[in-house]
Amino acid sequence: MGSYSEWNDAMIAYFVRGASSGATIYLSVDDGALVDIGSRFEQSNADHTDWVEDFIEAVRSECVIGRQIYLDRVSDHQPDGTPCCVAFLGSMVLAAHRMVGEETEDQNIAPINYFTRLRQILGLTEATGGRPSGLDPAGVEEKLWQMWNRWLIQNEALW
């Protein structure tokens, strides 16, 4: 199993390496991207097939204790200056991606359904809806998106 830190580093590399200067970087995380990212780990072997579950377990182990998300664990930078939050943000994007097939022409997706998907990914399956504990108040996760964005802007020359 890749650690949270390994997944975080691998995701950063996956999304920014090879991008041209000034390119827009999209954190587009779905099952296919996770399989591609995971298969690039040095310790990977050809028989390993569940990279999605490996990623989910790594995020859970770093960000969830009991029934609560702890953002302070990913709200800083690693010693090399890269943000620690990218894998967690990736889990949020994965939750949104998993909602794509749920919307129909006749029915819009209720915002609460996003948090249902995020809860499933993070193993927070209690029956209560809405934001999981640790993501209150609304927008508390925005500082992580801002950290990622600042890092991208400041390190554009490294790509």
How confident is the model over 19-36, as pLDDT tens digits?
887 788 999 999 999 999
Q: Give me the residue spans of the domains in the chain.
A: 4-158
pLDDT digits over 105-129, tens only? 555 655 557 888 999 999 997 666 7
**Helix 86-97 / helix 51-63 crossing angle, nearest 10 deg:** 120
- The model's pTM is 0.88
Strand partners, 80: none
- Collapsed DSSP state (helix, strand, coil) of residue 139: coil
Token pair recorded at residue 103: 């919307």
Give the C-alpha separation, 151 to 68, whole Å.
27
Query: What is the full DSSP assignment across 18-68?
Result: TPPTT--------HHHHHHHHTTSTT--TT---HHHHHHHHHHHHHEETTE
